[in-house]
C-alpha cells in the first residue's frame, strides 16, 4: 500500500514541478551540441532526490546518504538554472562523497584506498551526467541498475529503498521515455541518481566482497572513458559539451530513434548483469573472468564505434 501511495505522490510532485518550471522558464533550449530539437522542461529528475528524502522519512536509507544526495541535488539544480563554476560543484561532490564514506564506515579502512575510491566516485558521477544526452537513456539505465541490485540476496534488506527509487524512475520515465520528451532530468536528476547508484554499487561490493559487480555499470563506463581518451587524443577540452559518445553518433549522425538507442544501451547492460549474477550464483565470477569479460566488452565497443564512425565518414559499415 505504501508503494502505491509513493507512486501517486511522485506523479503529483512531477506535475507540480512542471507548473513551477514552466512559470520560472526552467527550460532546455536546443543548441548545436544538443540531441533534441525542441524546447523542453529541464529538471524533471528532481523526483530522484525527493524520492531519497521520502525513503529517509520512511526509514529506508540513512540520514548521511540522504544529506549527500540532497546536497548535490541542490547545487545541481542551481546549476541547471544558472551555470556555476566548477569549484562549488566540486566542493558539493566532495562533501557528499565524504558522507558516503562515513555511512559505509570507509574512514576505518586503509587510508591509501580512500583517495582511489574518491576519484572513482567523482569520475562516475561525472560520467553518468555526461551520458545524459538523449530521451530515456538515464532513466532506463538507472532502472536496469536498480533491478540488478534488487536481485542480489545481499541487498534484500535494502529492497524498500530500491523499490522507492525504482518507482521514481517509472514516474520520470513516463514523461521522458518518449519521442518528444515532456521533461529532461537535468543535472539535478542525473547527478543525484549517479551519486545514489555509486553509493549502492560501493555498498554492494563491500557487503558481498565481489568486485565483479562493478561491471553492473560497465556499458556507461566504457563509453565514457574511451570517449574521453579519444577527445584528449584530439586535444579537445573534455569539460566542454560535445556529441562524440557512441550513443550520440547513433542518435544524431545515423538518425536512430532516441528510444531505440536508449533501449539498446540499457538492454545490453541488462544482459551483462544477468550473466554476472548467474556466474556469481554458480561460483564462477572470479577475477580472471571479470578481467576477461571487461576486455571483451572494451574490444567489442571499440569495434562497434569504429564501424559507426566509418559509416558516418565514408558511408560504409
Residue 285: all three cell numbers together: 565470477
What is the average per-residue pLDDT within 253-276? 96
Task: Kindly write down the DSSP assignment for every residue of the chain, as one continuous string.
Answer: -HHHHHHHHHHHHHHHHHHHHHHTT-EE---TT-S--S-EEE-GGGHHHHHHHHHHHTTSS-HHHHHHHHHHHHHHHHHHHSPPPHHHHHHHHHHHHHHHHHHTTGGGS-TTHHHHHHHHHHHHHHHHHHT--STTHHHHHHHHHHHHHHT-GGGGGGHHHHHHHHHHHHHHHHHHSSSS-SEE-HHHHHHHHHHHHHHHHHHHHHHH--GGGGGGGHHHHHHHHHHHHHHHHTT--TTS----SHHHIIIIIS---HHHHHHHHHHHHHHHHHHHHHHHHTT---HHHHHHHHHHHHHHHHHHHHHHHHHHHHS--
Neighbours of 94 (CB within 10 A): 12
Q: How far apart are CA 45 and CA 140, in angstroms?
A: 13
40-42 sheet: strands from edge to edge? 27-28, 40-42, 183-184
- pLDDT tens for 85-112 read 889 999 999 999 999 999 999 998 878 8
Q: How confident is the model at residue 124 (pLDDT cuts 50, 70, 90)?
A: very high
Judge whether residue 196 has pLDDT over 90.
yes
Name beta bridge partners: 170: none
- pLDDT tens for 7-55 read 999 999 999 999 999 988 888 766 555 555 567 899 999 999 999 999 9
Mean pLDDT of the chain, nearest integer: 92
Q: How far apart are CA 241 and CA 221, in angstroms?
A: 18
Nearest Cα neighbor of 220 from 241, 201, 204, 237 is 201
Q: How far apart are CA 121 and CA 280, in angstroms?
A: 24
Q: How confident is the model at residue 194 (pLDDT cuts 50, 70, 90)?
A: very high
Nearest Cα neighbor of 269 from 146, 182, 156 is 146
CA angle 59, 62, 67 (to 5 degrees): 120
pTM over cut 0.85: yes
According to the model, what pLDDT value does residue 28 have? 73
Q: How confident is the model at residue 130 (pLDDT cuts 50, 70, 90)?
A: confident
Amino acid at each position: 500500500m505504501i508503494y502505491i501511495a509513493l507512486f501517486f505522490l511522485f506523479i503529483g510532485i512531477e506535475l507540480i514541478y512542471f507548473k513551477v518550471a514552466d512559470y520560472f522558464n526552467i527550460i532546455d533550449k536546443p543548441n548545436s551540441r544538443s540531441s533534441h530539437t525542441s524546447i523542453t522542461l529541464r529538471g524533471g529528475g528532481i523526483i530522484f532526490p525527493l524520492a531519497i528524502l521520502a525513503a529517509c522519512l520512511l526509514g529506508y536509507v540513512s540520514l548521511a546518504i540522504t544529506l549527500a544526495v540532497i546536497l548535490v541535488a541542490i547545487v545541481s539544480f542551481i546549476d541547471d538554472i544558472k551555470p556555476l563554476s566548477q569549484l562549488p560543484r566540486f566542493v558539493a561532490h566532495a562533501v557528499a562523497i565524504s558522507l558516503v564514506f562515513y555511512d559505509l564506515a570507509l574512514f576505518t579502512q586503509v587510508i591509501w584506498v580512500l583517495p582511489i575510491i574518491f576519484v572513482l566516485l567523482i569520475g562516475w558521477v561525472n560520467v553518468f551526467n555526461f551520458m545524459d544526452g538523449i530521451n530515456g537513456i538515464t532513466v532506463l539505465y538507472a532502472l536496469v541498475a536498480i533491478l540488478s541490485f534488487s536481485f542480489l540476496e545481499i541487498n534484500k534488506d535494502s529492497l524498500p529503498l530500491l523499490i522507492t527509487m525504482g518507482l521514481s524512475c517509472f514516474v520520470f520515465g513516463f514523461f521522458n521515455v518518449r519521442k518528444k520528451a515532456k521533461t529532461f532530468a537535468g543535472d539535478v536528476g542525473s547527478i543525484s541518481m549517479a551519486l545514489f547508484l555509486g553509493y549502492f554499487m560501493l555498498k554492494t561490493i563491500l557487503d558481498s566482497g565481489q568486485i565483479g559487480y562493478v561491471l553492473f555499470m560497465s556499458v556507461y563506463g566504457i563509453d565514457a572513458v574511451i570517449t574521453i581518451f579519444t577527445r584528449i587524443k584530439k586535444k579537445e577540452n573534455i569539460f566542454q559539451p560535445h556529441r562524440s559518445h557512441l550513443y550520440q553518433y547513433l542518435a544524431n549522425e545515423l538518425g536512430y530513434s532516441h528510444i531505440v538507442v536508449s533501449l539498446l544501451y540499457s538492454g545490453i547492460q541488462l544482459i551483462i548483469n544477468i550473466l554476472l549474477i548467474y556466474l556469481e550464483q554458480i561460483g564462477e565470477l572470479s577475477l580472471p573472468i571479470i578481467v576477461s569479460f571487461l576486455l571483451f566488452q572494451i574490444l567489442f565497443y571499440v569495434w562497434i564505434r569504429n564501424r559507426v564512425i566509418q559509416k558516418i565518414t565514408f558511408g560504409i559499415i
